[in-house]
Structure 1
Amino acid sequence: MSTNMRDAMRRLLALCLLAVPLAAPAQESIPAAEVALSHDAPVQLLGKLKGTQRDAQDYIVHLEAGDTLDVALKASAASSTAFNVLSPGSETALYVGMIEGEMHWMHEVEQAGNYTVRVYLIRAAARQGTSSRYTLTLIRR
């Protein structure tokens, strides 16, 4: 498939997903953990997700304007596990792993605040009770 065709398909999928919540986990509240990041010092977080019990985990990181957030995810159920990065105080995603299909993302933020990195099971996998062990690596540059 050509790069142009792939980009067009991603845009179409993104538009379709605007009509539904982006990878909203089935559970009512998502557990959250605050993570302190020092400049250029990687933090590795180990976790486990299991559909129907715990299908998402949030990690809150404070960034200053101009900081670059580097996120990498490795998961045992890689095709069923993804991450999003959410803007401070918002459910607006800067990055939607389910659409992009990448397990690594790096971005310079324009606004200071608490960003949320949400690791989750894709809804179909969560409903089937899929388990996934993961390592999330976060770096503030």
Structure 2
Amino acid sequence: MKAAAALIGAALLASTTAMAGDIRTERVHFKKGASSATVEDSIKGYQGVDYVLGARKGQSMNVSMATNNTANYFNILAPGKTDEAMFIGSTSGNQFEGTLPASGDYKIRVYLMRSAARRDEVADYRLEMIID
């Protein structure tokens, strides 16, 4: 039983690692005096994008995404976290608003659900990020 659990865990880790290779990283810079930034882009299949932006504990963050693909979502990862999301779009929708728990770099990870990625679907999206 323990061997089967270990095998399943190893398979999941390998799957996550393989998908992580398809994630590109882009640093988000707000224009001088601005508290928001908007990105328009697209992803295909297993591609994903980590939008990285710095923020301080206690600040408010608002992230929203408009997309043409119903399998396109974003997660938010707190500073220091690599795969543990504080917000999961596939279960909570494409709108996040909350107070940040820590200071540092937050990742907004845009992705397609596995079923759409397998079919090599494309998603065009507009992502708005606001920090107050």
TM over 0.5: yes
Structure with the bigger percentage of strand: 2
Unaligned regions of 5+ residues in structure 2, if any?
1-11
For these two proteins, the number of residue pairs brought into alignment is 118
Given that 1:84 and 1:96 are in contact with CA atoms closer than 8 Å, whether structure 2 keeps it comes out as yes
Q: What is the root-mean-square deviation of aligned Cα atoms in Å?
A: 2.4
Given that 1:47 and 1:135 are in contact with CA atoms closer than 8 Å, whether structure 2 keeps it comes out as yes
Distance 1:63 1:36, change over 3 A: same
Cα displacement (A) at 1:24: 7.9
Q: Residues 37-48 of structure 1 correspond to what in structure 2 (within 5 A)?
A: 37=30, 41-48=35-42
Rounded Cα–Cα distance in structure 2 between residues aligned with 1:25 and 1:94: 22
Cα displacement (A) at 1:42: 2.4
Cα displacement (A) at 1:37: 3.5
Distance 1:29 1:129, change over 3 A: closer
Cα displacement (A) at 1:40: 6.0
Rounded Cα–Cα distance in structure 1 between residues aligned with 2:24 and 2:48: 7
Choose from 30, 45, 49 the match for 2:43. 49
Instruction: Using structure 1 for the length normalisation, give the TM-score.
Output: 0.75
Given that 2:22 and 2:48 are in contact with CA atoms closer than 8 Å, whether structure 1 keeps it comes out as no
Cα displacement (A) at 1:108: 0.6
The reply on whether 1:66 has 2:58 as its aligned counterpart is: yes
1:65-113 CA-partner distances (Å, limit 9, x unpaired): 1111110000111x1100000011112211001122x111111112101
Q: Partner amino acid for 1:62? A: G
Rounded Cα–Cα distance in structure 2 between residues aligned with 1:51 and 1:133: 12
Unaligned regions of 5+ residues in structure 1, if any?
1-18
Q: Residues 81-100 of structure 1 correspond to what in structure 2 (within 5 A)?
A: 81-90=72-81, 91-100=83-92
**Structure 1 residue runs of 4+, over 4 Å off?**
none
Rounded Cα–Cα distance in structure 1 between residues aligned with 2:28 and 2:36: 11
Distance 1:28 1:49, change over 3 A: same
